[in-house]
Structure 1
Amino acid sequence: METMLKQLIRGKALFFIIVLGIGGSLQNGFHVTVISSPSPYIQDFINRSWFERYEEPLPNRTVTFIWSSIVGLYGVGGLIGSMCVKYFAGRFGRKGAMMWNDAISIVSALIMFSSKSLNSFEMVILARFSYGFAAGLGLFVHMMYLGESSPTKLRGMVTLTSATFFAIGKLSGQLAGLKEFLGHESLWNVLLSLPGILAFIQLVALLFIPEAPRYLLIDKDNKEMCQKALQTLWGVGEYKVEMEEMMLEQVAIKGQPSKSVVGLMRDHLVRWQLLTIMVITFSIQFSGVSAISSFSYSVLMEAGIPSDKIRYVTLGLGISEVMTSIVCGFLIEDLGRRSLLWKGFGVMSVLMALVGLTQLLKGNGYWIPYCTVGLIFLFIIFCGGPTGVMPPFSHEIFVQTYRPAAFVFSGILRWLGFFIMGMIFPFLLASLKSFSFLLFASVCLLGALFVFFLVPETKGKTLLEISEEFNKIHIYRPSLSKDVVLETRL
């Protein structure tokens, strides 16, 4: 660990990680939580804006619909933004894509800030959509940029920082929305414009950061610029091992154009990688963590926590998520990706089942709701394994020609899962009550079993070696037997 920390401060690596974080996944996390606090003020603004134009109030159902559009279009923008990762990252490079993303965030912030003075709720809708686009694009370019700039032995820890900054962003949104800070009716447009400041800081700071070394060598065939970028980020050195690994990958994929999403889905060489991404992404999205993050108030109210204590419990959950992500960053290179995935899902399954049980028994004692909260805290802590591993894992299992399309594919799954969960969870909670948590437990268990039996370890391996590990997975039906045989080397 000490050696890793020394290497982070030898060059500009630590500065690079922080700069990418504040303009990348941190903004994504901020947007997820910050919209909750000013919601009554924005709904009043919608009604007042309409009344001043037409001198008649809006029906409550119409206000609710417009407010739902403001919340929901962020997800639509995120989905579209994630679909544009391949185009932006391929045309402008990883650094250029982040700079364009910053420009979109700054424009979005200006639109949001001006909406109040111009008395236009339509501008709030537009700003939320473009914020979502920037979040969807920036999150995956952030992960790609980190992974393509890291030495093999530090790749997991460095790429996992995107999950850490996402957790920090969620906590920042909760803190900034408190009445002690910017949670006032007069400041809601200022609160929702804060990401523009972070985007501007990153835009300026990126001028002092090199392009991703792997992109420079493999895509641009510029060995000198690649070595110079490695030295700038990680300190003086020849980096022969890293350069040789990149050149081997370059030779292996020579003549192969960058894959489209359709081409990626048709290619049998990466079918196991795609299936793995699908299973893990949906296992995370439907594990219950998205529901707890987005509907924490409803979940805690259902658990029996007094309403005046809920915001403090929510802040505690946010702090736990940040601390867990940091700890996972130091453990990932020792424990490995596969171990954190299947063990994390396994414990999460048990915890969700226990949450369902305490929900059934909550009327049998005043202390039971607090047991539920304790279990939710533990769930968030162990969830840090799968959610933290996903950024480095998604990067490692695809070689350069497949990676941009793979991130588009992963982004579509992530945002689609987020949208579905947001739509169905209120109905699940209302109809199934405590049994909804048993559904989450089942999803986590399936995720744990899939990873344990079929997913190889990627720790400390080159990207070509990882591809070979996935190619060794076969499911076939022998001609003389109806039994399905699994062959995998884990």
Structure 2
Amino acid sequence: MSPAVTEKSSSQTLMLMVASAAIGGTLQYGYNLAIMNAPTTFIQNFINETFLERWDIQLEDYQVTLVWTIIVSIFSLGGLSGALIAGPMTIRFGRKKCLLLNNIFLMTGALLAVTSRAAKSFEMIILSRVLIGVNAGISMNVQPMYFGESAPKHLRGAVSLSSAVFTSFGVVLGQVVGLREILGSESCWQYLLGSNAIPGFIQLLTLPWFPESPRYLLIDRGDKEACINALRQLRGCEIQSSELDEILQEQVEAKGTRPSRPWELFSDRSVRWQLISVMVISSAMQLCGNDSIYFYASYVFKEAGIPDDKIQYITIGTGACEFTACIMCNLLIESKGRRFMLMGGYILMTIWAVVFTVALWFEHNISWMPYLSMTCIFTYILSFGMGPAGVTGVLPTELFSQNARPAAYMIAGSMMWLNLFIIGMIFPFLVSDLNEFCFVPFGTVCIMSALYVGLFLPETKGKSLLAITREFQKLNYKGHDKKDESQTQANYQLGEVVPSTAL
């Protein structure tokens, strides 16, 4: 077989594996963010009717909003739980099997959502959202690991960023399915909430045909033959000896060590600023308010002065913006670099938050200001997709070794989901109480994030783990003995965790 044919076969297998894993993985996160917007009024009415029928209580508007906010935001607490169990699951079951087992949470949640209306139980919707959140939390951590460990070096950045592309595609898909003409009507909202089972079925039917992560098979399981077979399936008939040698070298370096626990990373001076960077950037991804726009798009567009009958169609444009931007980010990241894309995205988001605030201030005085407000929302989301949406999920793979990576993803995922819960809970109240100043807090987060990236995050594009670690040691060991720094850096590269108490 010619090299061209082999490379084409390899690329096709890899792309199909990416699609299979992502359609039941990060696509679910975006999809479940988006589908909650369309049935807002219908579920709020359902909550009111349930209280009237059970306890003969007529809820006040703020009480309905509170229950609705709990339904929306409990998804994030489920995601936090999923992020916490994702690390141990990947170590015990492997990356691929973990994604397949994850569908148990999805299918159970979908069944509860579909039957909640017949059972006249809004509590079933809450439990469903928790389980769907667990599913999303696991997939958001496991999928980037699976991709980063399965892709060849020259495609690793693009393949890892496909997680963000599928997330944004899930948002668009959820917004389209949520149209009143499809499943977003009063009679079909329960089927809309349960429609996330379909991508899960597709993954269950297709992912078993693809191999486990070659690095997991060799480094964690010590199965060289299975690793070689996985590489053959993913790369084609010919395996480059350099790639296998790299994995074998990583196995030698990790020999005799075990995967790090999350709390061990907090006490390990050699990864202190890597951990701080991952936590700050993962938190900023949610504190910037972008994903909450999908939860509460109706609130935002009403505040911007958009007519009610136009909102559902305009909302699709927000998802399309992020989807387009993530594809552009995928194309640009290897040429522009991670640091440039992150910092540029947050700076642009700050600018649009300021313009949006000005537009809301003058919306009652100038007739075309609502359209400027709408434009600002689109450009805000576009800027998010160009940088933070794609780059944030790649960083733990590039900043941490194989042994520390699951723990790093657990911490990063926990920060992301915890902050999404906080913002999800307060977002509708920010919009209603701050009015035209509702985006000021988000703009502040964006400018502070841009400053952090500019001051503390080194560029990781095209660099080895050793080179990236050397950059961070200037911060990790600032003011400490150079001999201790060199020794701990060497130990870290060999996979030996040295607690700070040993220094």
Cα distance in 1 between the residues matched to 2:265 and 2:49: 49
Cα distance in 2 between the residues matched to 1:282 and 1:65: 24
* Matched residue type, 2:76: G
- The equivalent residue for 1:461 is 463
Q: 2:279–2:411: 8 Å Cα contact kept in structure 1?
A: no
Which piece of structure 1 moves more, 428-437 or 298-307? 428-437
1:407-439 deviation line (CA, Å, top 9, x unaligned): 110111001111111223333333433334333
- The equivalent residue for 1:447 is 449
Aligned equivalent of 1:404, options 403, 406, 420: 406
Q: 1:137 to 1:449 in 2, by over 3 A?
A: same
Q: 2:273–2:476: 8 Å Cα contact kept in structure 1?
A: no
Query: How far 1:370 sits from its partner (Å)?
Result: 1.6
Which piece of structure 1 moves more, 466-475 or 370-379? 466-475
Cα distance in 2 between the residues matched to 1:239 and 1:115: 53
Q: 1:249–1:399: 8 Å Cα contact kept in structure 2?
A: no
- The equivalent residue for 2:355 is 354
Cα distance in 2 between the residues matched to 1:156 and 1:191: 34
Cα distance in 1 between the residues matched to 2:189 and 2:38: 9
Q: 1:325 to 1:361 in 2, by over 3 A?
A: same
* Matched residue type, 2:117: K
Aligned residues: 474
Q: For residues 263-278 of structure 1, what are the structure 2 equivalents within 5 Å?
A: 263-278=264-279
Q: 2:285–2:392: 8 Å Cα contact kept in structure 1?
A: no
Query: How far 1:17 sits from its partner (Å)?
Result: 0.9
1:239-261 deviation line (CA, Å, top 9, x unaligned): 32322322333333332211111
- The equivalent residue for 2:391 is 389
Query: How far 1:474 sits from its partner (Å)?
Result: 4.8
* 1:170 and 2:168 are equivalent in the alignment: no
- The equivalent residue for 1:435 is 437
Q: 1:474 to 1:132 in 2, by over 3 A?
A: closer
Cα distance in 2 between the residues matched to 1:78 and 1:477: 39
- The equivalent residue for 2:59 is 60
Query: How far 1:50 sits from its partner (Å)?
Result: 5.9
Query: How far 1:111 sits from its partner (Å)?
Result: 2.5
1:117-165 deviation line (CA, Å, top 9, x unaligned): 3444333222221111111112211111111111122111101111111
Cα distance in 2 between the residues matched to 1:48 and 1:425: 25
Question: Secondary structure, in 3 states, of the residue corresponding to 2:396?
Answer: helix
Cα distance in 2 between the residues matched to 1:478 and 1:260: 25
Q: 2:177–2:183: 8 Å Cα contact kept in structure 1?
A: yes
1:11-62 deviation line (CA, Å, top 9, x unaligned): 411111111111001111111121222233334444555666x5x5343156
* Matched residue type, 1:430: S
- The equivalent residue for 2:428 is 426
RMSD of aligned residue pairs (Cα, Å): 2.4
* Matched residue type, 2:228: Q
- The equivalent residue for 1:487 is none
* Matched residue type, 1:186: S
Q: Structure 1 length normalisation: TM-score?
A: 0.90
Q: Structure 2 length normalisation: TM-score?
A: 0.88
- The equivalent residue for 1:112 is 113
Q: 1:227–1:239: 8 Å Cα contact kept in structure 2?
A: no
Cα distance in 2 between the residues matched to 1:389 and 1:468: 21
Question: Secondary structure, in 3 states, of the residue corresponding to 1:192?
Answer: helix
* Matched residue type, 1:438: V
Q: 2:72–2:424: 8 Å Cα contact kept in structure 1?
A: no
* Matched residue type, 1:218: I
> Which consecutive residues of structure 2, in runs of 5 or more, have no partner in the other structure?
482-503
1:225-248 deviation line (CA, Å, top 9, x unaligned): 222212212323223232232233
1:427-457 deviation line (CA, Å, top 9, x unaligned): 3333433334333223222212221222122
* Matched residue type, 2:412: S
* Matched residue type, 2:96: K
Q: 2:52–2:58: 8 Å Cα contact kept in structure 1?
A: no
Question: Secondary structure, in 3 states, of the residue corresponding to 2:360?
Answer: helix
> Which consecutive residues of structure 1, in runs of 5 or more, have no partner in the other structure?
480-490
Cα distance in 1 between the residues matched to 2:431 and 2:70: 22
